[in-house]
Amino acid sequence: MNTLEFIPKPFSNLLEKANFTWQTPSNIALIKYWGKSNLQLPKNASISFTLNNCHTITTIYFTKNRGVEGANFNLFFEGKKKEDFKPKIAQFFTRIQQYCPYILWYDMEIHSKNSFPHSSGIASSASGFSAISMCLMSLEQELQTIKLSKEYINKKASFIARLGSGSASRSIEGGLVVWGNHLEIEGSSDLFGVQFPYKVHSIFKDYQDTILLVDKEEKQVSSTVGHNLMMNHPFAIQRFAQANENLSKLSKILQNGDVKSFINLVESEALTLHGMMLTSNPYFILMKPNTLEIINKIWRYRQENNSNICFTLDAGANVHILHPKKEKEKVNQFINNDLAQFCQKKQYICDSVGFGAKKVVSIKE
């Protein structure tokens, strides 16, 4: 695997100070990444919708120092110093040091906030690491004399974001993003996410995702632990093969607009992900009773109303309801009348497919 392209050319313009602000999205996987090898290489290819409303906004203030051994940074989350996120970010900085040597030449103050409620059970690692990665790429561009292409910036940002959290590699580009080498997806790679390279049927371009907040507590088992349990999992080999086959099927569905097959595949992926958790050793369950109440209600509603809604789950109890835009009003009514009661404080978030990372501010001295 060729990672040489991510080692930068010698730098010339060392700025004294700079700060950059990026807004980057969360994403929801349709084909799930669950199982990895070192360092953050996925055992199967995955694909996600980039979200629009659920995002992180991060500013990094860079101040030139005399050169340090390990990255020197402070972290503020929603205005407050956040010590418990620091170890994962410190590990990330160590992993990317050879690709981003400038992180040792600047003291960094990271200020981050999420658009979604704090501890809503929505993973913020994807949008969190992609935002930091885009800020670093903005600094890299300023330090280089040559102009980096947008394509290279996005590719390298995704490459380094992956080293923070696998799913973060899918939180740079908009629309549909594939991460993981797949024979039928041109340009796909284990190293970074790429936009789904084929023409997407119009129905999937503005798909809606309503996230029902069933459980806002911190998960009992982290994704990292869950991924590791796939190492000696009795069904691992079949699962990784199945995910790749499912991506071949989904690729065709996304192009031909076959919503019924989309529903079947996406729900099966979600339940298989949780099936892997149930059959890990030690085994664990992240769904809650209300997750199942909601799933059953969705199935009944779909049958009775000839609707095209479906659900997916990430590694938690919250339910993502996916549906075509033209069903939005009816689905909202259904959620309000029948599903909100199963959410904590009746909370849910309406979202849709989004456009990817957006630069907000750039100041340099």
User: Which residues here bind ligand DP6, judged by CB under 6 A?
Assistant: 29, 32-34, 40, 46, 123, 125, 165-167, 223-224, 227, 273, 314-315
> For ligand DP6, which is the closer residue by CB, 16 or 217?
217
What are the C-alpha distances in Å from 349 to residues 121, 141, 188, 210?
Answer: 12, 35, 31, 6
Shortest distance, position 135 Cβ to ligand DP6, whole Å: 19
> For ligand DP6, which is the closer residue by CB, 18 or 322?
322
Shortest distance, position 224 Cβ to ligand DP6, whole Å: 4
Shortest distance, position 273 Cβ to ligand DP6, whole Å: 6
How far is residue 20's CA from residue 79's CA, in Å, rounded to a whole number?
17
What are the C-alpha distances in Å from 305 to residues 196, 262, 274?
Answer: 32, 18, 27
Residues listed for the chain: 365
How far is residue 160's CA from residue 80's CA, in Å, rounded to a whole number?
26
> For ligand DP6, which is the closer residue by CB, 22 or 179?
179
Shortest distance, position 272 Cβ to ligand DP6, whole Å: 11
Q: Do residues 56 and 23 touch, judged by C-beta distance below 8 A? A: yes
Helix (H) or strand (E) holding 20: strand 17-31
Question: 19 pairs with which residues across the strands?
Answer: 61, 363
Shortest distance, position 125 Cβ to ligand DP6, whole Å: 5
Number of H helices, E strands in the chain: 8, 14
> For ligand DP6, which is the closer residue by CB, 127 or 167?
167
> For ligand DP6, which is the closer residue by CB, 124 or 138?
124
